[in-house]
Structures are given as C-alpha cells and as structure tokens.
Structure 1
Amino acid sequence: MGEFPIYLGAGTVDEEGERIRRRADPPPWRVFAGGPVTPLDRDAPVGRRLPDRARSASYQADEATVRMVNVALHLRRPLLVTGDPGTGKSTLAYAVAHELRLGAVLRWAITSRSTLASGLYHYDAVGRIEAASNRSVEESDIGRFLRLGPLGTAFAPYELPRVLLIDEIDKGDIDLPNELLDIFEVGEYGIPELERIADSTPRVLVRPADHGDRVTIQDGRVGCREFPFVVMTSNGDREFPPAFLRRCVQLDLAQPDPERLRAIVHAQMGAEALAAAHDLIADFLERREQGQLATDQLLNAVYLLHQAGGAAQPDRRELEEAIMRRLTGPA
C-alpha cells in the first residue's frame, strides 16, 4: 500500500525526493506505459521568475487543499481548482512542484484562441521546407523543427509526473474541455508529421516546452509513463460538461479567513511585517465583505507600508484607497 500524505502543504522541500515515489499504485484503469523513459531534472526551478519560486515556498495550503491534492496524485486525475482571483489557484501548482521536487512547472495560459493542437506541439513546416530546399536537412532531422507544447510535454514519458498548469481554462473555446478528455483518459497522442515517417525514422528527438533535455518519440506516438499532476484553474465564469467534471478532482478555494491571512503575511514578509499589519488586515476583511478583493492586494499594501515607507511613511488610509480597491461591488 502507498502513503496517502504525499503533499503536506508545509512549503518545505522533500529533500530526499522519495515521497512522490511512495504513492499508491495507480488504479488498473489509470496505468500508462509510455516510453522510452525520459529523466526529469528535479532540481530545475519551478518557475523562471523569482516570485514563482518564492510564492511556492511560502504557499499556505489549508487542510482541504492538501487532501484534494493528494487525492488527485493517487488517482492520477486532473485537479480542477475554482475560486475568486487571488485565492492562490495558480500558485498551488508551483507549491506542489516545489515541495515534491518535480522540476519546472509547464504553464499553458488559455485564451479564446487556444486549441488542443497548440497545447500539444508546434511544427515549423516553413523552416523545414527552406532547409530541405538548401539540402541542409535529412529526414531524420525533422525533430529540429518540432517543439512540444506545455500539454504535449506533460504527457511525454518522464520517469516522474510533470506538473502542468492549465491556467484559466474557462477562457477557452467551449469545446476545449471535451477535447482534453481523450488525452486525459488514454494518456497519449500522435504527431502526424512523425507518424508518416515512422517506418523509416522510428525514433525522433524533440525539444520540450521547458527547454530541458530532448524527448525521444517512438513511431510518432507520445505517451506518458507517469500521469502528470494537472492543475486547471477557473474563475467560475462558466459551467463545464458533466463528462469533463466526473473525470476531474474538484477543489473550490475559499477566500482566506483571518487566521490564514495572518499566516500568509507572516510567510511572505515575516513576523515584523505581520505585527505592523494588524490594522491593514482588519480593514481588508471589512472591505472584502462589501466587494471582491484579492489577497495579493493586501500583500501589496503591507509591502508598501513596511518595506517601501522609509522616513516618509505613506498615509495608511490613502494607501488602502489606492491599493485595496474592490474588484466587484461598489467602488
């Protein structure tokens, strides 16, 4: 039997890197056998920008969040995270990657123009034609003109699960959730440009989305060995099809209560900043009752008062009016 608490939500790194290996065996219907296996750079930064790494290290996960993350990890199912802006939906993916040492987070930011194909891979057909006309490329060099997208990279056959953040899926085309169902179920996809030459060139090296080591693709098919940890965020702007929802683990992130807000401020800026922020936190909670506010608005206000005030401290009320403007409700 495996251990249930793989992700602890403590913000500390599993230095030995063994907890993710102690998951329960997957359910029989969630076993995947893609290959050839690609090593995972577990020491790669979870995000390119320092704030991503800093936020992931100090992310404050409540008990319900920790529980549902572990459910998704054991069941090998995507996690659909809903909640108001600023509740930490996106940061959760970075926090899990940071704690379990699962390397760089693969982020796919969804827009109205996003398609399944754009998330899987990109093929530079023009570049290959130009190279072929100059006789500077062989058929076996086709991998030079292919690059996997974040979705495509996540489902490559890595030795450990990749972390994939599908950000704001509710902004995508109405058919996108249903289009994702197939790859979520079978754990693999084909690249037609490689399938056509599979007899003559069965193995091709292709660049992943995160600029890591190239991935070996066999016979034009890409299939995962370990189902990725997929976090899909939604602001709740629209409903999803029942067929999609039943294949996801669902987590609704509530606005942080006063205790969690204090813990967040302490984790991000320390005890001294927290001691100076009690009035700001109280005012933030009062304003939040009248209209939507995001936690990062509070953090911005605390930072300006505590770190950027200097000798000329800004007026706290004026700062609140400038920084903590309601996102919804009366101005």
Structure 2
Amino acid sequence: MERKIKYKFTGNLENRPQNSHPDSPQKLEPYIADRELIQAVNLAIYLRRPLLLEGEAGCGKTRLAAAVAYELGLPFYRWDVRSTSKAKEGLYTYDAILRLHDVQAQKVDSKLNRDPSNPTCYRQFGALGRAFCLKDCPAIVLIDEIDKADLDFPNDLLAVLDEPWAFEIPETGEIGDNKIKATHEPIIIITSNKEKGNLPAPFLRRCVYYFIKFPGDSERLREIVEAHYQAQAEDSSQETSDEPVATKPSSELIESASERFLAIRKAKGLFREPGTSEFLDWLNALQSFDSQPYSHSKLKTINPLPYRELLFKQSADWEKYASAS
C-alpha cells in the first residue's frame, strides 16, 4: 500500500494552519529553503527517518527545525546536546533523591505538592519523551549538535528512533505493556558540525542526509534579508512593545554589504568564515548604529572594514581587515 504523507513542508511559512498546536513556535521564523532542502525534509517525514543536517556554522541548520514546526503548526521541542549528554536524558530524567526527601518531609508536613507514593511525580520527560507522549499529532524534535556527545550517543538513540518507537521507565514501572509508546512518530531533525569526526556508520545509515551550503550569491542574501525584516515587521505589528522597529536598509546598502561580505568569504584565508547571523548583525549596524546609515559606495572598498568585530571571531581575521587601504 502506498504511504501517504500527511504533513508536507513547502518553505512557505504563510501556509501555517490556524489551529496550530500550543507548543508550536508562535513567532514567525524567517527561513529561505531551496528546493532540494525542502525535498530532504519531506523525504524524512515520508520515510519516518531522522534528517541529519551538516554545514558550516551560521548556515541555518538549527533554525530549519523551528521553521518547519512553525509552517506545519506542530509542537517544537529542542534538545541541546552537551559533552556529558546521554541518550536517556532526551527521554526522561528521574529524581530519586527528591522522592527520598519528600518521604522524610511528609512525616513533618502532610501537604506536599508531590505524592511520594507515586513515582511518576518524580520523572520529567525530555524533548523526545514529550514528543512520544503526544496523542493528537507528531512533534518536531531538534537534536542540536549531536556530535558534542561521546561516540556511543548516536547509536544509543537508534534503539528509540525506530520501530516500535517506544521506551521503558523502570523507576516508575512503565515497562513491558505499560511502556511509553509513541502514538505519532516524531519528526526528528539532527544537526552536526563534525566536531569529533564522522558519526557512526549504523547511525548514518538510518538518517536522511543533507549538507546545507552557505548562500553563495548576493541575490540569495537579499532574499534572506527581505525575509528577516519582513518577520520583524510582522512581529512588531502584533506586539505592544516600546522597542523601536529596526529600520530596513536601502537596497543600495543591502547590495553593497552583500557584495563585500561575499568577497570576504571568497578571498579565503580566514580561520573562521562569518555566517548568516553575523551578516545580519553587520547589516543592522551599518544601517542603524550611527546617526546616519553607512555610505554604500564607501563600503565596497574601504579598510578598516566598518564594524568588523561583528564578522570576525578570531584575532588573525580581525587584524586582517584592520589596516587602512
């Protein structure tokens, strides 16, 4: 029987359903996804496999998951992996010490908020566990920077991110027929920076893989800028904040900034190339930091590069654009 895809990502955030889930992102997430990336997301949803994203820092790996959740109106749960993270933590944590404390405290105060006789009062679901417990729809789960953990971490996840999509909690007796089983398999998006080399082969075989390239032309950068300022304008129209709305730069300044930024990246020789987030911060400073926007004509060639501290995060890179032309 042909498998049908109920949820389909289009890259058009205006397709967001009106009856979105309360745990879905409420703030518009501007994101420009190309056709191949959209296809990769939908392949992962269709095949019920994790989508593994790689690419240089600042290329938009992490923000994609929030954009998908926003457009589809689905819950979004984020798991930031650390060097000490264990796969179990994404499912649940159990506080046995707090339970023991409450057993003793109950002898003095019978009006505790928790019931020590009920072990479920002391387990807390992680991002994956919350997604497994949803009854009405799947969730988007972001496992961010999976390669920060040890090498066993990805393979430990395989036992959960596959049939029968279930896990046990021995501390609460939720085992066997009572184990936690997903009614709706979550849509998993995983990011990696290859900090510790390649991920294990069994894990890679399980994933749909996509490498996000940095936008290499000024037209794509302009599209990102348009989406960014449009989202800011829509957010400000829905809020009653006294914060001033960021002024969108002129088309000439956007074009000059894009060309200079791409020229810096193409020149190579940098220890760390600046990404999209640095570009947007730099453009914002060019437009609004001083009383007048920076001259778009001067920007094309001038050194020292204005506001270079926003672009470069290594001393050698910073010094390279500090000298006068």
Number of the residue aligned with 2:214: 255
Per the normalisation by structure 2, the TM-score is 0.78
Number of the residue aligned with 2:157: 180
- 5 Å-filtered alignment, 1:111-126, equals 111-126=82-97
Are 2:115 and 2:121, in contact at CA under 8 Å, matched by a contact in 1? no
Q: Secondary structure at the match of 2:74?
A: coil
Are 1:168 and 1:234, in contact at CA under 8 Å, matched by a contact in 2? yes
Number of the residue aligned with 1:96: 68
Q: Distance in 2 between matches of 1:5 and 1:306?
A: 39
Are 1:189 and 1:222, in contact at CA under 8 Å, matched by a contact in 2? yes
Relative contact order (alpha carbons < 8 A, sep ≥ 6): 1 or 2 greater? 1
Instruction: State the Cα distance separating 1:313 from its structure 2 match.
Output: 5.1
Q: Distance in 2 between matches of 1:86 and 1:306?
A: 21
Number of the residue aligned with 1:23: none
Are 1:280 and 1:302, in contact at CA under 8 Å, matched by a contact in 2? yes
Shift in CA distance, 329/256, structure 1 to aligned 2, threshold 3 Å: farther
Return the match for 1:42 from 14, 21, 41.
Answer: 21
Q: Secondary structure at the match of 2:214?
A: coil
Q: Distance in 1 between matches of 2:212 and 2:100?
A: 49
Return the match for 1:293 from 274, 295, 298.
Answer: 274
Q: Secondary structure at the match of 2:124?
A: strand
Are 1:177 and 1:244, in contact at CA under 8 Å, matched by a contact in 2? yes
Deviations 1:101-127 (A, max 9, x none): 002x21111111000122221112122
Identity across the alignment (%): 31
Q: Distance in 2 between matches of 1:160 and 1:180?
A: 22
Instruction: State the Cα distance separating 1:178 from its structure 2 match.
Output: 0.6
Number of the residue aligned with 1:203: none
Shift in CA distance, 189/5, structure 1 to aligned 2, threshold 3 Å: closer
Correspondence 1:278 to 2:249: no
Return the match for 1:303 from 275, 284, 287.
Answer: 284
Q: Distance in 2 between matches of 1:72 and 1:221?
A: 26
Question: Counterpart of 1:325 in structure 2: which amino acid?
Answer: F
Instruction: State the Cα distance separating 1:189 from its structure 2 match.
Output: 0.6
Correspondence 1:233 to 2:191: yes
Are 1:80 and 1:233, in contact at CA under 8 Å, matched by a contact in 2? yes
Deviations 1:177-228 (A, max 9, x none): 11011001131110011227x7xxxxxxxxxxxxxxxxxxx96511111111
Number of the residue aligned with 1:149: 126
Are 1:284 and 1:324, in contact at CA under 8 Å, matched by a contact in 2? no
Number of the residue aligned with 1:24: none
Question: Counterpart of 1:123 in structure 2: which amino acid?
Answer: Y
Are 1:4 and 1:70, in contact at CA under 8 Å, matched by a contact in 2? no
Question: Counterpart of 2:14 in structure 1: which amino acid?
Answer: T
Shift in CA distance, 327/95, structure 1 to aligned 2, threshold 3 Å: farther
Unaligned residue ranges in structure 2 (runs of 5+): 231-246, 321-325
Per the normalisation by structure 1, the TM-score is 0.76
- RMSD between aligned residues: 2.7
Q: Distance in 2 between matches of 1:269 and 1:162?
A: 28
Deviations 1:90-149 (A, max 9, x none): 00000000000002x211111110001222211121221122232546565322211111
Once the two structures are overlaid, the 10-residue window that deviates more, 71-80 or 4-13, is 4-13
Shift in CA distance, 329/178, structure 1 to aligned 2, threshold 3 Å: farther
Shift in CA distance, 4/156, structure 1 to aligned 2, threshold 3 Å: closer
Question: Counterpart of 2:280 in structure 1: which amino acid?
Answer: L
Correspondence 1:130 to 2:101: yes
Q: Distance in 1 between matches of 2:41 and 2:136?
A: 20
- 5 Å-filtered alignment, 1:71-86, equals 71-86=43-58
Unaligned residue ranges in structure 1 (runs of 5+): 18-40, 48-52, 199-217
Number of the residue aligned with 1:264: 224
Q: Secondary structure at the match of 2:12?
A: coil
Instruction: State the Cα distance separating 1:263 from its structure 2 match.
Output: 0.3
Give the total of aligned pairs.
280
Instruction: State the Cα distance separating 1:3 from its structure 2 match.
Output: 5.4
Q: Distance in 1 between matches of 2:115 and 2:17?
A: 44
Shift in CA distance, 167/257, structure 1 to aligned 2, threshold 3 Å: same
Question: Counterpart of 2:311 in structure 1: which amino acid?
Answer: M
Are 2:99 and 2:116, in contact at CA under 8 Å, matched by a contact in 1? no
Number of the residue aligned with 2:243: none
Are 1:195 and 1:219, in contact at CA under 8 Å, matched by a contact in 2? no
Are 2:90 and 2:127, in contact at CA under 8 Å, matched by a contact in 1? yes
